[in-house]
Structure 1
Amino acid sequence: MTKPQRRYGTAVRYRDKISKLSFTNSMVRPRRLSDDELLTRIVAFLEQRSELTPWSLSDVAPSAGIGPAGLIKRFGSKAGLQRALTQRWIELVPREPLADGDDPAAILAAYVGREFGANSTAGAVYALSEAMSDLQDPALAALLATGWTLQAQRIAYLLESMNLPRLNDPAAGGTMLLDALHGALFRSAVDLDQTAPLLTLERFLEMWR
């Protein structure tokens, strides 16, 4: 009677030891970052990057906390990572309706400043060079077209919500304003301060009021 009890007791102690070891290992094992977390880190790095030369996986890997080989495993290649970044940008284009009390003019100004404002001349040059590079890839160009369509629709929705008396066609106005904001980036690249995105927006609103 005693042998099975001792054998069982030994098994329990062994099992408990293994459980504690597994728990300890799980406590020290780094948590695997999600794709979205990696993309968020990479975007933050690229937005602050001052170099005008094209970036590589080796450039962005340290900011993501993962090696270049890990990025290849996740996204396949730099082109795959670029598609994931562009898809993420599309998903972040606001689509929700305004809530009671929301100020569409303030929301539009905040969106324009966030999406089209460049921290520096170098930042504007970088944004434009990335867009030109993306347009050479059919898959990326299709994603850009989708994103720009959604942006124009969002801008049109906010313009319509402002009840501007001289804006007869909010959809056309949204597309025209989006084109002008992209043009403002070109001017920002040569440091013409009077063409800042928010000032471009204000000039259009003045015409439509």
Structure 2
Amino acid sequence: MARPRLLNDDQILQRVGDALGDVDAAWTLAGAAAAAGLHPATLIKRFGSRRGLLVALSQRWVSSIPSKPTSDDAHQELLAWVDSTCASEVAEDQMLTRIDMLVEDLRDPELRALLHDGWQRNIDYLTGLVNRARQDGQMREGISSVTIAHLLLDTAHGSLLRAAVTPGRRDTAPACTTQSLLEALT
């Protein structure tokens, strides 16, 4: 008789995703399972392989990105998004591991397509926030909203790479750069 499932797939993905956020070296299926308090066989049974788990994690991430503003104050929501891009609390080894994970995604066509979908969803979300902030008089007109969205996302990602290259420097903190850009556009 099969053992009853104590966790659904989404709960497992939440645990594994949380555990991977703290990883500071190349991760294995066994390591991810242990960090999430699970047995590797559980992950294999549910997701088929390490790659299957990565696809499921990526799909979950894409689905979690809002498609439109979620509050009445778009400017505050933009500021919260900027804060969420901050890697000031991320150790150097963790940053390098995240870059390794990005390269892994870029090498796999399905994972790369999911990454593209996630980034496009971020662009759509940020564009909606900028449009709403403009309607509310919290941002000035000028550059198109979609261009601002691209600038914010590109600045956040570029700042993360810069922080990985010079992790000890205060002026490389991603939130500072992205925050400065947002302030310049408001």
Shift of 1:92: 0.6
C-alpha distance in 2 between matches for 1:151 and 1:63: 28
Provide the secondary structure at the position in 2 that maps to 1:205: helix
Other-structure match for 2:15: 41
Other-structure match for 1:167: 142
Other-structure match for 2:182: 205
Task: Name stretches of at least 5 consecutive residues in structure 2 with no aligned partner.
Answer: none
Task: Report if the CA contact (8 A) 1:109-1:198 is conserved.
Answer: no
Shift of 1:153: 1.1
Of all paired residues, the percent bearing the same amino acid is 35
Other-structure match for 2:31: 59
- Aligned positions of 1:1-209 closer than 5 A: 31-49=5-23, 51-52=24-25, 54-99=26-71, 102-120=72-90, 121-163=92-134, 164-189=139-164, 190-191=166-167, 192-209=169-186
Shift of 1:158: 1.1
Provide the secondary structure at the position in 1 that maps to 2:21: helix
| Letter paired with 2:15 | R
What is the TM-score normalised by the length of structure 1? 0.77
C-alpha distance in 2 between matches for 1:96 and 1:36: 23
Shift of 1:31: 4.8
Give the 3 Å change call, closer, same or farther, for CA 113–201 of structure 1 in structure 2: same
C-alpha distance in 2 between matches for 1:204 and 1:167: 14
Provide the secondary structure at the position in 2 that maps to 1:48: coil
Provide the secondary structure at the position in 2 that maps to 1:162: helix
Give the 3 Å change call, closer, same or farther, for CA 35–161 of structure 1 in structure 2: same
Q: How many residues align?
A: 177
C-alpha distance in 2 between matches for 1:118 and 1:150: 24
What is the TM-score normalised by the length of structure 2? 0.86
Structure number with bigger Rg: 1
Provide the secondary structure at the position in 2 that maps to 1:61: helix
Task: Name stretches of at least 5 consecutive residues in structure 1 with no aligned partner.
Answer: 1-28
Structure number having the greater helix percentage: 1
- The structure, 1 or 2, with the larger RCO (C-alpha pairs under 8 Å, 6+ apart) is 2
Shift of 1:166: 4.5
